[in-house]
Amino acid sequence: MMRLWGRKSSINVQKVLWCLAELGLKDGVDFERIDAGLHFGKNRSPEFLKMNPNGLVPTLEDGELVLWESNTIMRYLARIHDKAKRFPGDIPSQYNSEKWLDWQVGTLWPTLRVAFLGLTRTPEAERNYAGIKKSYQDTNDLFALLDQTLANQQYCSGNAFHIGDIALALCVSRWILLNKTFPEQTGGRQELKNVTAWLKRIEKETYMNDIAEKELNIIK
Ligand SMILES: N[C@@H](CCC(=O)N[C@@H](CS)C(=O)NCC(=O)O)C(=O)O
């Protein structure tokens, strides 16, 4: 049985849990999940650091193979466990999804994380409010790029749902929740009609609502 290390409130653990759900893989049957990270601890123990020297979640053990980096774990699960072909395997779909996965981790999240960590994981007295607002407004501009793509296709990689959509939708959901919870600190949220329609479609057609947070998990 695979073993997934990580608390359910982590965006990166949520990606993996959502991917497992889409593939029909069940907690307790196909994998076991162990709470780790933040107040659960465990991720700085010598045993954990042997698996993942970054001390971060998610970390996946599948027999001898140990993987970290949430997008890599999703790629692995989709390659090994997608017997029912939930995600399209043709080259354009595959690599358009890859492109958005790399954009999510290399461009989008580094921009959004300043606002996200600043407002949810940083004590009020230590918050850099100018930096938080800039991060949020820059994220508006980035999601406008996704909106342009979604004007011509239903999902990020074409007309079928793919793992790229998982990574993006969880960021969009945090972007919306941040503005809802901290309207003044984030400044305005751009109305993006194609992104909104895409998110609604995903909420209806996938396991997103079972996995994504309904409210921000705020550490005070
Ligand atoms: N790029 C990594 C980032 C992993 C990461 O930053 N994980 C966070 C949670 S989202 C973490 O482990 N934080 C420390 C903690 O929870 O204690 C990935 O995509 O998996």
Residues 6+ apart with CB under 8 A from 209: 203
Is residue 181 a contact partner of residue 119, using CB atoms and an 8 Å limit? yes
pLDDT of 180-210, one tens digit each? 999 999 999 999 999 999 999 999 999 999 9
pLDDT at 220 over 80: no
The pocket around ligand 1, CB under 6 angstroms, is made up of 10-12, 37-38, 43, 56-58, 69-71, 105
State in Å: Cα 54 to ligand 1 middle. 9
Q: Domains (ranges, CATH) in the chain?
A: 2-81 (3.40.30.10), 91-211 (1.20.1050.10)
pLDDT at residue 134, rounded to an integer: 98
State in Å: Cα 40 to ligand 1 middle. 13
Residue nearest ligand 1's atom 6 by CA = 56
Give the pTM: 0.98
Q: CA 137 to CA 142: how far, in whole Å?
A: 9
Pairing of strands 59-62, 2-5: antiparallel
pLDDT at 132 over 80: yes
State in Å: Cα 70 to ligand 1 middle. 9
Express as a percent the part of the chain with pLDDT over 90. 98
Cis status of the peptide bond prior to 58, with omega within 30 of 0 = yes
Mean pLDDT of all residues in 23-40: 97
pLDDT at residue 219, rounded to an integer: 81
Mean pLDDT of the chain: 97
